[in-house]
């Protein structure tokens, strides 16, 4: 079963809705995603993966007609549909192509890269290649961005580093005992 998560922390504000056709700067254009801003205007807050998947692409210009730094995640088949999400206008990307991610894992920071009017997250979702409202889709999963906390991700504890000899080992103490007097007499080893 796939896990799901909010892409943003509590308090995020919905700022612009999905539209296949709307007027933008006097031209008819599509807005193939939904936008959210952080609780604090202009803050570059963490952005989280909304579901388990694999990073298909990360960087600038990876999705036609979208600008700025973007991460695209392939979630495989969810509910009978090939599902992909894209996270646009990021200020920083924390994942790489081919990386496996889990719902709630930080994938970057909200930003204002590309054609934008301010810092925000543009979240798009595609089923079998066709864009739909990410806001509506997440709500069917019980997630209301800004009111549902991101899923907590548990990570395995770091493995201890291999032990190294320390200066307190018996062998090192013997060498230092001999080396100090030799150094005092002008000899070096």
82-110: per-residue pLDDT in tens?
Answer: 999 999 999 999 999 999 999 999 999 99
pLDDT tens digits for 163-187? 444 444 454 455 556 656 656 666 5
CB atoms within 10 A of CB 102: 17
Q: How far is CA 89 from CA 35, 114, 163, in A?
A: 10, 6, 44
Half-sphere exposure of 13 (CA within 13 A, CB side): 10
Q: Does the structure show a pLDDT above 70 at 129?
A: yes
Q: How large is the C-alpha radius of gyration of the chain? A: 25
- Predicted TM-score (pTM) of the model is 0.75
For 65-74, what is the mean pLDDT?
86
Q: How far apart, in whole angstroms, are the C-alpha atoms of residue 41 and residue 34?
A: 17
pLDDT number for residue 71: 96
Residue 1 has pLDDT above 50, yes or no: no
């Amino acid at each position: 079963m796939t896990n799901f998560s909010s892409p943003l922390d509590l308090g995020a504000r919905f700022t612009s809705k999905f539209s296949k056709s709307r007027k933008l700067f006097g031209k008819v254009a599509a807005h193939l995603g939904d936008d959210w801003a952080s609780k604090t205007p202009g803050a570059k807050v963490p952005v989280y993966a909304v579901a388990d998947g694999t990073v298909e692409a990360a960087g600038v210009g990876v999705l036609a007609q979208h600008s700025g730094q973007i991460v695209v995640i392939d979630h495989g088949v969810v509910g009978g549909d090939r599902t992909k999400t894209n996270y646009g206008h990021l200020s920083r990307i924390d994942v790489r192509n081919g990386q496996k991610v889990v719902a709630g894992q930080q994938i970057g920071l909200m930003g204002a890269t590309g054609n934008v009017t301010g810092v925000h997250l543009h979240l798009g979702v595609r089923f079998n290649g066709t864009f739909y409202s990410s806001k509506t889709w997440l709500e069917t999963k019980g997630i209301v961005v800004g009111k549902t906390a991101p899923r907590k991700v548990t990570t395995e504890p770091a493995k201890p580093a291999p032990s190294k000899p320390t200066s307190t080992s018996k062998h090192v103490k013997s060498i230092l005992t001999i080396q100090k007097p030799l150094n005092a007499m002008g000899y070096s080893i």
